[in-house]
Chain A
Amino acid sequence: MTSQTVLAAAGQVSGGEEVTFWILAPLALIGAIGMVWARNAVHSALWLVLTMLCLGVFYVLQAGPFIGMVQIIVYTGAIMMLFLFVLMLVGRDASDSLIETLRGQRVAAVVLGVGFAGLVGSGLYRALEGVQAVGLDKPNAEGNVQGIARLLFTKYVFAFELTSALLITAAVGAMVLAHVERRKEDRMDQIATMKARFRPGNYPGPKPGPGIFATSSSVATPARLPDGRLTDRSIPEILPVRELTAEETSLKGTEK
């Protein structure tokens, strides 16, 4: 890393750095476009992961190994993983709908987006053309991590603590919103569950599965008790009640 630091500080671009850039820059761009383009939310997240990984490597190339690795660990490893977690809970087929609510909105968005990107890109290029990076040596003199630590815990310690307080507040707030308070009396311990199970009027055994002693293996067919009566305890409550035809209720002739 030291050699890279020196090179970046001197404003030279080494061969390896250039090759890495020209491989990863298109990939990062493809990832960004794919993220917008993808219909499936999970695919979108994956494209974003690709872009973030490329950005992490760029940081390392720019003599900031710590921020690069933290980008990969925190953003790609933890935050995107939480995103994925939520997306997977939502369901895998939750694709975007393709109905345009505002007519011509998509074309306008594409034109404006490309125009804005061109504007920013050319502006940055004109402004930074031929600019040499200077002074990278000084902050990295005692090591990249040590330099960041010194700044964070001396000059910016108040801002740092304030940010962490903000994050903790947000986390506690989310917990309070999502937390369901249960009173101590409502909590069922094992003995209470057992008592409820053996309460008079409650059958303690498992419910009969569908199709046991029944004429069909369908879930909608009620199970038969050993004495031949039908039991509706075996039918899930959400199933609509259905009249069985005579053919369905008659024996199938498979028993000997």
Chain B
Amino acid sequence: MNLYLAAQDPTLADFGKDPWWLVLIKIVFAFVFGLLATLLGVWFERRVVGYMQVRPGPNQVGPFGLLQTLADGLKMAFKEDILPRAADKVVYFFAPTISVICAVTALSVVPFGPKVSIFGHWTPLQVTDVSVAVLVLLACSSMGIYGIVLGGWASGSTYPLLGGLRSSAQMISYEVAMGLSIVAVFMTAGTMSTSGIVAAQAHGTQLNIFGVDVPAPGWYAILLLPSFIIFFIATVGETNRAPFDLPEAESELVAGFMTEYSSLKFALFMLSEYVSMVTMSAVTTTLFLGGWRAPAPITTFWAGANSGWWPMLWFFAKVLILVFVFVWLRGTLPRLRYDQFMRFGWKVLLPINLVWILVLSGLRSIEDWQTKDRLVATGIGAGVLLLATLFWPSRKKELRPSLQEQVNSRPHGSFPLPPMDLQVPPSPRTRRVVAEREPANVVGSDSREV
């Protein structure tokens, strides 16, 4: 059984051997997956946010309102395509396409499943894999920023420009946190290929903690929990989603970088946003949640859960859950202020990440030592940490004058203050309105007046 399962695990050598039509099928599948995910993703988001806000959400077009996005898309295609006079025409035209192309390209290295037989060909369910596949993903996401930044610049007006500037600063900052959190995955998996990382999460590992073997789960989300949390936060920043949607903050910048965009170009920006949300969910699934492999208890009962076409089900389920988390965040959290956002990225995520990588590499480098040496090494580290926390200089609390002292020290001629125990009497007007209002559904009164 084990041998059979191992034969299904794609390795790097299995790629690049497909006939051209199979490659075409896979590419079209990945592309259509991106488009369909957008179509359903917009509907899903509106329904879920609607549910959270105790309202129905779109429910008119098609069953459960499923076709609402399609209708909106069609409507968008028939709208007037406005080209602002101050726009840089070529760049303005290309910006949305750059966004979409980069978002969709990233799907090409995401493993959807193990090796299956398609028309007699034994092939992995993944468009392609290279030895640096995760770097391809990073490259795609960093190139995708160009669409947003250039779109903001080329629009030739202030709000889009501000949105574009914010976006470029934001993406550069959060890409650093994102890249660093993947480093832990590389160190543990020992490879950069996506199929290799999925294979590395297949089986639980034995962690040797103080001479005791502790079984640990294979998923890096649990094994490398700090990396997982930081990576997910960084993906939210990278995909411009709430609460980090500062480039399109409607309360400050109208619609940010896409203020001037209309019709299909606007639709392309929307498409790229949702595709990149799905792509990032798929990447998180691949890197941290075991990829297409079935979650832990299923394989114990059902050995065939990781073979054939079933893994696609687990993969889609995991992606769906992550997309739900994206929507959940949007429905729950208020938008951060720009300086808070930047401070969070550089002063919280980055240092935690660096310390965590240091700890992890330290643990990994003392893995082969004797138990006693290892204990001494960890003891020294823990002691230094303890001393640092104990003797960390704490800020002295300033003496704040009490409220009464502040009031007393106000200079002469200041604005008058109401007394602290002021009781505001209820407005007489409200009482009168309530008393004079008649019940709304009196049948007789209406007919008499007419």
Contacts and interface: CB of A to CB of B under 8 A. Distances in A.
Interface string A183-204: 0000000000000001111001
Indicate the size class of the contact surface on chain B: 20 to 34
A160 interface: no
B45 interface: no
29 contacts: A1-B131, A1-B132, A2-B12, A3-B16, A42-B88, A65-B132, A69-B136, A69-B139, A70-B135, A72-B139, A73-B139, A76-B139, A77-B138, A81-B172, A84-B149, A85-B165, A85-B169, A88-B149, A88-B153, A88-B165, A88-B168, A92-B156, A144-B131, A144-B132, A145-B131, A145-B132, A145-B192, A200-B413, A200-B415
B164 interface: yes
A49 B142 CA distance: 12
A77 B175 contact: yes
Interface of A: 1-3, 40, 42-43, 46, 49, 53, 56, 65-66, 69-70, 72-73, 76-78, 81-82, 84-85, 88-89, 92, 143-145, 198-201, 204
B256 to A, nearest CB: 14
A200 B410 CA distance: 10
Given A69-B135, A88-B165, A77 B13 contact: no
Kindly list the 4 A-B residue pairs having the minimum CB-CB distance in the complex, ordered from nearest. Answer: A77-B142, A69-B135, A200-B413, A72-B139
A66 B143 contact: no
Nearest to B417: A198
A40 B138 CA distance: 29
Contacts of B132: 1, 65-66, 69, 144-145
A171 B172 CA distance: 16
A138 B130 CA distance: 19
Given A3-B16, A73-B139, A81-B171, 4 more contacts: A66-B131, A76-B142, A78-B175, A85-B165
A84 B16 CA distance: 37
Contacts, number: 93
A115 B245 CA distance: 51
A73 B145 CA distance: 12
Contacts of A199: 411, 414
Contact of A78 (B130, B142, B156): B142
Which of A42, A53, A69, A89 gathers most chain B CB within 10 Å?
A69
Contact of A198 (B12, B164, B165, B414): B414
Interface in B102-140: 130-132, 135-136, 138-139
Interface in B144-203: 145-146, 149-150, 153, 156, 161, 164-165, 168-169, 171-172, 175, 192
A77 B16 CA distance: 27
Interface string B314-352: 000000000000000000000000000000000000000
A81 B153 contact: no
Interface in B410-432: 411-415
B323 to A, nearest CB: 25
B23 interface: no
B143 A76 contact: yes
Interface in B2-22: 12-13, 16
A92 B161 CA distance: 10
A105 B136 CA distance: 44
A49 B146 contact: yes
B91 interface: yes
User: Among A40, A82, A88, A89, which residue has the most Cβ atoms of chain B within 10 A?
Assistant: A88
Contacts of B12: 1-2
Contacts of B91: 42-43, 46
A81 B149 contact: yes
Contacts of A69: 132, 135-136, 138-139
